[in-house]
Amino acid sequence: MRRKPVVRAGLSALLVLGALSGAGGALSSAAAAPGSAAPAPKAAAEPAFASASAPSAGLVRALGEELGLTTDQTRQRLSQESAAMKLEPRAKRAAGTSFGGSWFDADSGWLVVGVTSAKKATAVRAAGASTRMVAHSAAELDAAKARLDKKAAKKAAPAGVSSWSVDPRAGSVVIHVRRGTEHDAAVRAFIDDAKRSGPSPVPVIVEQATAQVPTTFAAGTVGGDPYYTGNVRCSIGFSVQGGFVTAGHCGQAGASVSGWDGSYIGAFQGSSFPGNDYAYVSVGSGWWTVPVVLGWGTVPDALVRGSAEAPIGASICRSGSTSHWHCGTVLAKNETVNYSQGAVYQMTKTNVCAEPGDSGGSFISGDQAQGVTSGGWGNCSSGGETWYQPVNEILSVYGLRLHTA
């Protein structure tokens, strides 16, 4: 790199090395489930905040503004969500094959786990989570969605279908249909086929999405703290040992990458899109990596301390080079997004806005890395929804180690 690090430009700007990129885009939403909710286990006190450090005042203020919470409510929610992230793997093990999915309930402040067995419900509550009896296990729900994915891989889903996912709260597969296309013959055929799918059909819920088409958030070259490949600007997601991860639609393997100042950073070592939307870029030539996500002056720059996965319903924030820092909540997981370039699988959906130029940027919950921005719909003036590619899958595929503080 050709400049000396200075205050913000040095440590922080290097992680997002010049900052995140993308293309413009569209998105959609999810629903609820049968069964009886068991009371949350009695605890001596609020769950302890699981992070290595308390959230900054800036983060608390910004998140509170986005979610309509007071400072005390925001701090309490972050503490509860952090505890839920740590608890989820243990609760899932306790549920075993009875596991029907999990989500964070903001009203109670507890992790809720769907279970198909009353005996396993007792074990899950003993582990510390609340439970809800459900008709279908997560494995059954995922299998029903996988059948849709397989059919879409053989024959592209109609453009009127924007996405589909499993909603553990509803105990169903949810298909999101673009407004105005509900009665199209191809859309109706896709929905009818989904309802007939499998030996033991899982309920299918149809929800109306925006009239817009989901798109990626790549953009032409503009100013800011970007990285560039060709005439596309994209945002860094997270530093890993030897480079950073970002969105696959930002560049193909072998493509050269330059930084905010035009100097050479490295090259795409791997890239996948569609099907997936992730990539790994090597870093060298005087550039280096740091475990930081830019707060863009809205909040202090955030240190990355791990990649524990936030549950559905948890709060989450995004950093990108165009629209900077915005927050919201996790709406759905394992969603298939029907982009015009082809379907992308196993995405996580949020109600956080994004704009062209934000692709590849960081999604973070507390100090835990979550994923890299893929696409969505809307903007940060009128609102919208955005999907991200979960970071742990990217680390696993490329054998990478997250750079943490």
pLDDT tens for 231-274 read 899 999 999 999 999 999 999 999 999 987 788 999 999 999 99
Q: What is the mean pLDDT of residues 153-176?
A: 91
Identify whether 21 is part of a domain.
yes
Identify whether 366 is part of a domain.
yes
Residues 315 and 376 in one domain: yes
In whole angstroms, give the CA distance from residue 269 to residue 11.
Answer: 24
Q: Which of these is catalytic: 271, 315, 359, 365?
A: 359
Residues 61 and 120 in one domain: yes
Residues 396 and 264 in one domain: yes
Highest mean pLDDT pick, 121-135, 192-206, 292-306: 121-135
Identify whether 50 is part of a domain.
no
Residues 172 and 70 in one domain: no
Identify whether 36 is part of a domain.
no
Q: Which of these is catalytic: 277, 301, 358, 367?
A: 277
Q: Which of 198-202, 352-356, 397-401 has the lowest mean pLDDT?
A: 198-202
CB atoms within 10 A of CB 216: 31
Alpha-carbon torsion, ordered 132, 138, 140, 142, to 10 deg: 140
Identify whether 355 is part of a domain.
yes
Q: Which of these is catalytic: 105, 235, 239, 249?
A: 249
> Which residues touch 195 (CB under 8 Å, ≥6 apart)?
201, 204
Residues 110 and 145 in one domain: no
Kindly state the tokens that stand for 69: 């919470």
- Residue 222, domain CATH: 2.40.10.10
Residues 367 and 333 in one domain: yes
Task: Indicate the number of domains in the chain.
Answer: 3
Kindly state the tokens that stand for 196: 């007939």
Identify whether 45 is part of a domain.
no
Identify whether 41 is part of a domain.
no
β-bridge partners, 293: 302
CB 400 within 8 A of CB 350: no
Residues 374 and 278 in one domain: yes
Residues 377 and 256 in one domain: yes
> Which residues touch 157 (CB under 8 Å, ≥6 apart)?
190, 338, 343
> Is it the case that residue 196 has pLDDT exceeding 50?
yes
CB 397 within 8 A of CB 278: yes
**What pLDDT sits at residue 4?**
32
> Is it the case that residue 304 has pLDDT exceeding 70?
yes
Residues 177 and 299 in one domain: no
What angle is formed at CA 274 by the lines to CA 269 and CA 275, rounded to 5 degrees? 100
Residue type present at position 252? Q
Residues 359 and 238 in one domain: yes
* 3-state class (DSSP) for residue 228: strand
Q: What are phi and psi of 388, to 5 degrees?
A: -130, 155
Residue 199 — pLDDT band, cuts 50, 70, 90? low
> Is it the case that residue 223 has pLDDT exceeding 50?
no
**What pLDDT sits at residue 244?**
94
28 in catalytic set: no
359 in catalytic set: yes
In whole angstroms, give the CA distance from residue 156 to residue 177.
Answer: 15
- The domain boundary, picked from 133, 149, 180, lies at 133
Residue 12 — pLDDT band, cuts 50, 70, 90? very low
Q: Buried b vs exposed e over 280-291: b needs ≥16 C-beta within 10 Å?
A: bbbbeeebebbb
In whole angstroms, give the CA distance from residue 127 to residue 212.
Answer: 43
> Which residues touch 389 (CB under 8 Å, ≥6 apart)?
247, 248, 276, 277, 278, 344, 346, 347, 348, 371, 372, 374
* 3-state class (DSSP) for residue 100: strand
* 3-state class (DSSP) for residue 224: coil
Residues 155 and 273 in one domain: no
Identify whether 376 is part of a domain.
yes
**What pLDDT sits at residue 6?**
31
In whole angstroms, give the CA distance from residue 354 to residue 386.
Answer: 7
Radius of gyration of the chain, Cα coordinates, nearest whole angstrom? 21
- Residue 99, domain CATH: 3.30.300.50
Report the candidate in 329, 307, 94 with the shortest Cα–Cα distance to residue 114: 94
- The domain boundary, picked from 179, 209, 239, lies at 209
> Is it the case that residue 84 has pLDDT exceeding 90?
yes
Residues 304 and 403 in one domain: yes
pLDDT in tens, 88-108: 999 999 999 999 999 999 999
- The domain boundary, picked from 100, 133, 166, lies at 133
**What pLDDT sits at residue 152?**
85
Tell me which residue range forms the domain holding 339: 1-27+210-405
> What average pLDDT does the structure give for the chain?
84
Q: What is the mean pLDDT of residues 209-225?
A: 63
In 116-191, beta strands by DSSP E: 130-133, 161-167, 172-178
277 in catalytic set: yes
